[in-house]
Amino acid sequence: MNYISKQFNIHYLPEYNLLVKAGFQKDVLAVVDKKSVAPILIEYPSEEPILDATRIMSLPFRFVRIVIPHQSLTFIPKEVFQRENIAQYLQFLGTQDIENTFIYYLDSLNIVALYQLDRLLLNRWRRLFPDAVILPEFAVVLDRAQERISIRGSVLGLHFVTDNIVDFYLFKNGVFQLYNNFEIQHLDDISYYVLNILTQFGLGDSINKILLSGEVPDHSYYKRISRYAGDIEVLDLKTKVALADQELDHDLTPYNVLFDSILCE
């Protein structure tokens, strides 16, 4: 999508938020005002930014938030986590690169996430916006999902990070159990990972509820996933953002991580 409204006014730049969802294949950027109205929403290949995108990113936005997918991730119970001993947890991450290891506190779940980002991707965006708030994608996903988690039964989340990468997360009786990402090439991969999670966590033949978010490739994925759930919910936009030109009928739900990142601390 390449949407730039005539209502975008550069004189109001201090009042706008620039939001970016960075990736390895595609980037998405949006400009949102204080009333959750978006005069700009642009998608483009990560390695070939279009002219409109480079022009927008060259503007001196005061508030910038960038969401980046994690490269590796582990969780530690908050009561045993010791920040000064962070090096001892590196064995559970992809590399021993402590300078590229970050901490995110999930207070509502009473856990601490340690994660690493792709260094080239991170550095690219830091050069563009050195003062930006950078959020790992899983943090926005879990923040938005928690209000849909019941204290009884099982809830499995599938967040489509890209066309072939899906984050899976699981809550059982309200307790956080799992967060991991897997490579998905076709529908049978979805079935394999869902069935594997059902078996590993003793959930029987089906999940009570499945939460979907991100850009689900097509309806065949909904149909396949519905085999394993009593109920399927799509995480909608909590920000209730709307395009500046209201006559344009465009579903913004697939961009929930992009727009809802503004709600994360």
pLDDT digits (tens, 9 = 90+) for 209-235: 999 998 888 889 999 999 999 899 998
> Cβ distance 238 to 144 under 8 Å?
yes
Q: In the structure, how many helices (H) and strands (E) does the chain have?
A: 6, 16
Query: Domain check: are 158 and 212 in the same one?
Result: yes
Among 180, 179, 190, 171, smallest CA distance to 228 is for 190
Q: Are residues 199 and 259 in the same domain?
A: no
Residue 209 belongs to domain spanning: 149-234
pLDDT tens-digit series, residues 97-106:
888 899 999 9
* Same domain for 249 and 182: no
With 0.75 as the threshold, say if the pTM is over it.
yes
- Does 127 fall in a domain? no
Residue 117 belongs to a domain: no
In a domain, 74, yes or no: no
Tens-place pLDDT, residues 195-213: 999 999 999 888 999 999 9
Pair of tokens at residue 108: 């509502």
Residue 126 placed within a domain:
no
Task: Say yes or no: 244 and 229 in one domain.
Answer: no
Any domain includes 114? no
Q: What is the C-alpha separation between 101 and 67, in angstroms, rounded?
A: 16
Do 185 and 242 share a domain, yes or no? no
**Residue 130 within any structural domain of the chain:** no
143: exposed, middle or buried (Cβ count in 10 Å: 0-12, 13-18, 19+): buried
In this structure, is residue 11 part of a structural domain?
Answer: yes
Main-chain phi, psi angles of 5, to 5 degrees: -80, 150
Are 36 and 60 members of one domain?
Answer: yes
Are 199 and 252 in the same domain? no
